[in-house]
Amino acid sequence: MADTDHGITADAVRQALSDIALPENGTLAGSSRLTGITVEPGGRISFAITIAPEEAETFATIRSAAETAIRSLAGATQVLVVLTAERDAAATAPRPAPKPEPKAAGKAPLLPDVAHVVAVASGKGGVGKSTTAINIALGLRALGLKVGILDADIYGPSLPTLLGLRGSPQVGPDRRLKPLQAHGLAAMSIGFLVDEETAMVWRGPMVMSAITQMLAEVDWGTLDVLMVDMPPGTGDAQLAIAQGVPLAGAVIVSTPQDLALIDARRGIAMFRKVDVPIIGLIENMAHFVCPDCGAGHDIFGSGGTAAAAGRLGVPFLGAIPLTIELRTASDLGRPITALSPDSELGLKYQELATSVLRHLEGRT
């Protein structure tokens, strides 16, 4: 690998890991456990350590030691080390989603200072889930709650753009990352840790490990609500969150057309299998508002999400139109609920936030 602008190479990373001993003898640098070394401009370094699932506790200290060793390299600004448990073909065969395991006695909760964790999900990408998640989070903030948002989409993080955030998280004295702040929200995304043009060519276990570490190894502080902007789909990453975090509920976002609703129904089925309550369905891009005449155009059909909610027995939370103002605000990194809270769209998102809060209050 060519030198970066800080002079760090993959060989330098391996050399820094040459003193990290492994339980089976030998060092991390000379082991096949070390994979995926990436060194980016700006001193951002990431790699994975391959383990068996039962080795997770043992290798937690090794991961921490490896991270400390790389941080000591001159020019290293951000270090991301993930533990990845590869599985054989039999283990990856389709099977029913297991029920969440009961918490072990005396085991500390993953997010002890977060009162409620809410997932915002969709069965497919491109339906405006991230925009919806951020604006609902801001709506909850406007109601006086302390709110954080986690961008759990490793392959396509959008939170940095939608919140207009640049820069890297600071590391606290306890070695945990401090979330960035925007519009009163605490925010974390893989997009803060890697260059925006970097392709995350990671296997499923690496993705799950990175998500878990962004939950457990970030100093979220005391929050009333942590919104999790889920990755699209119903695969390993989604199950890792649904089963590893005490979710208070899930909000499902869909556009009105049948193609999107088919995938939204799959998302609802997944959450039901792992006993996560469905807060409700939101219809996004319900219609396009013409900027010239003000008329609404049903580009994706009309009323499909409300009808689906009725058939599935889940609440219909409301419909959000597609407008030029919403698109512009999102592209500028100034969400409409923060930019124009008293606008028609700003008030709609606050109504959605109120519906979410009612659900949470009903669980306390």
| Model pLDDT for residues 312-360, shown as the tens digit of each residue | 899 999 988 888 888 888 888 899 999 889 999 999 999 999 999 999 9
Cα separation, 321 vs 353, in Å, equals 16
How would residue 289 be classed by pLDDT, with cut points 50, 70 and 90? Answer: confident
Cα separation, 72 vs 40, in Å, equals 16
What share of the chain has pLDDT > 70, as a percent?
82
Mean pLDDT across the chain? 81
pLDDT at position 105 over 70: no
Per residue in 230-287, pLDDT (tens digit) is: 987 666 777 778 777 889 999 999 888 766 677 788 888 888 888 899 999 998 887 6
The two three-digit tokens of residue 243, written as one number: 């089963």
Where helices occur in 72-189 by DSSP H, the ranges are 129-142, 159-162
Residue type, 88: D
Contact 127, 258 (CB under 8 A): no
- pLDDT recorded at residue 298: 66
Q: What is the model's pTM?
A: 0.71
Q: Classify domain 10-85 at the CATH topology level.
A: GMP Synthetase; Chain A, domain 3 (3.30.300)
CATH number corresponding to 114-363: 3.40.50.300
Per residue in 215-235, pLDDT (tens digit) is: 888 999 999 999 999 987 666
- pLDDT recorded at residue 92: 31
pLDDT at position 107 over 80: no
**Continuous segment of H or E residues that includes residue 150:** strand 147-151
- pLDDT recorded at residue 189: 92
pLDDT at position 17 over 90: yes
Per residue in 148-187, pLDDT (tens digit) is: 999 988 888 889 999 999 888 888 888 788 999 999 999 9
Domain with CATH 3.40.50.300 in the chain: 114-363
Report the SS3 class of residue 337.
helix
Per residue in 119-139, pLDDT (tens digit) is: 998 876 778 899 999 999 999
Domain with CATH 3.30.300.130 in the chain: 10-85
How would residue 98 be classed by pLDDT, with cut points 50, 70 and 90? Answer: very low
- Read off the pLDDT of each residue in 55-65 and give the average, rounded to a whole number: 84
